[in-house]
Amino acid sequence: MTLLDEPVVDMGTDLSRYRHWKLEVDGAVATVTMTVDPEAGLRSDYELKTNSYDLGVDIELHDLVQRLRFEYPGVHAVVVTGGYDKIFCAGANIQMLAGATHGHKVNFCKFTNETRNAIEDATRHSGQTWIAAVNGTAAGGGYELALACDEILLIDDRASAVSLPEIPLLAVLPGTGGLTRVVDKRFVRRDLADAFSTKTEGVRGQTALEWGLVDAIAPASEFDNLVAERAMARAGESDRPIDASGIELTAIERTLDADSLRYGCVEVQLDRALGAATITLRGPNGAQPATPDELVTAGASSWLLQLAREFDDAMLHLRFNEPSIGTWVLATEGDGAAVAAAEQLWHGHGDHWLVREVRLLWGQVLRRLDLSSRTLVATVAPGSCSVGVLAETLLAADRSFMLTGTWEDLDDPPPPASIRLTQSNVDLFPMVNGLSRLGTRFWGRDDALAAAHGVVGDDLDAAAAMAAELITFDPDDLDWEDELRLMLEERNSFSPDALTGMEANYRFAGPETMESKIFSRLTAWQNWIFQRPNAVGPEGALQRFGTGSRPNFDNRRV
């Protein structure tokens, strides 16, 4: 598929364009109501009935999570609930899944996982706690949305239930981390979790509370009071400011052509013959905010925030619209000193709410880079600005190339390239395994990690970067183009499935966390299950769902 073959999935939206979500703010508490428009799916071959969702619904939710964090500093608790009577959310739309390509299903699941992670990140680090007010049935992805919240409140009306019915009904797994969150986040006993995930009708009221699937229940007459009480209690725990003004997340401006994508600070060039995209991240142009007040004034136009949003949009565009582009070449361009100066905000004013949000957004963007099923290659050449936060892309890469010396054939050769680690690379941007990218790179090699920490603040040429084990190869200008092109050609000749598996195994050394389990175990298993005839074959559960005919399973275990 290329841009010329299929409609482009646009990841951009804003509150005025929402079709599926409503936002109400009352002091320190925001209420986010899911009222899905059945006729507003991304494709026309299904209806989004009973508050079921597709990618379009989740694009809006992703946007809403970010807007709450940046535009509403006075919101300290967020209540998410259903807008239809006796329905919280029925989960991912089954007809959408049945008609989607395999790649779209997997990308959809990954994106919804990342959006749920952003909700958890807001609760854990932003002082903006999410609470699920489950006012009716919460099935499959609906319960997984609730699981992303820090508290789950269930109406006890003898009908409303929480459930993960994917296994008995659809022959697939819950696609948004539900199995892992049930046991790793809610600490539900393993045997009860097993029983829960095979009960089509789910679990109601007191049993859901006793099993640990929800935190509190209340009859319909008392449910609103319970929700209000818990929301105010959690809002009172927040360290967010009460009366600060937020900043508007203005629309991301981009120019899309057949083989390029251009933003203010990001440029993407596609080489379809090599199956590669070169993503160039540009450093600051002009003075950047040095204080929180200046950052508030600059808003979304500040370099740190603008680049993070544009880089994120570019990655999502490539994921959904350019699946055949299997290699991303990550480059930087600009003044490294300006990058280091801009990120001093994080080190001098890290407790300010907006400074913190920009840093946390960068953490999400970098984790999205790690989790993208693409070969990541970093290049450092004269004119690069691989410093601090931009050096994280170098540390995220599967391989890296740094030019030794400079371009000798130029009349006025530029200075050689350099790399500079800063404190940002030490402790600001953990991966999903809980380690920094440096810590992951040197997992089990404490002396090498200490040596890398020892060069923080130094400008390293290619020889010094090799000695510090920060790069893979250091060709000179005679070999640069040939070595890079040969590597890209070789990569493009390999099986993309095998590469995805290899890269994911190598990228996440060290301990497991709930997030790493969700993305490694779920992605691998769901990827496989989505191709099995028991799920997607002509007699499989996804095709037979809703027809009145039972699926015909091949009962041989694999």
Could you confirm whether 144 is annotated as catalytic? yes
21 forms beta bridges with: 34
CB 362 within 8 A of CB 339: no
Q: Copy the structure tokens of residue 152.
A: 């789950």
CB 162 within 8 A of CB 153: no
CB 377 within 8 A of CB 493: no
Could you confirm whether 258 is annotated as catalytic? no
List Cα–Cα distances, 507 to 72, 249, 281, 320, 527, in angstroms.
Answer: 35, 32, 22, 22, 18
Name the active-site residue from 60, 114, 120, 166: 166
For helices 141-148 and 102-125, give the axis angle rounded to 10 degrees: 30
How far is Cα 92 from Cα 142, in angstroms, rounded to an integer? 8
Name the active-site residue from 141, 275, 283, 540: 141
Backbone angles phi, psi at 390, to 5 degrees: -75, -25
Name the active-site residue from 60, 120, 144, 343: 144
Q: Identity (one letter) of the amino acid at 340? A: A
Could you confirm whether 308 is annotated as catalytic? no
Q: Provide the edge-to-edge strand list for the sheet that holds 266-271.
A: 255-257, 260-262, 266-271, 276-282, 327-333, 375-380, 399-402
How far is Cα 74 from Cα 243, in angstroms, rounded to an integer? 6
Backbone angles phi, psi at 134, to 5 degrees: -80, 100
Q: Identity (one letter) of the amino acid at 209? A: L
Could you confirm whether 92 is annotated as catalytic? yes
Q: Copy the structure tokens of residue 395.
A: 């540390």
H helices of 325-414, where?
Answer: 336-342, 344-348, 353-371, 391-396
- Quickly list DSSP for 268-321: EEEETTTTEEEEEEE---S----SHHHHHHHGGGSHHHHHHHHHHHHHHHHHHH
270 forms beta bridges with: 277
CB 147 within 8 A of CB 193: no
Which single residue is written with the structure tokens 């970010």?
A: 66
Name the active-site residue from 92, 118, 218, 417: 92
Q: Which residues are catalytic?
A: 92, 141, 144, 166
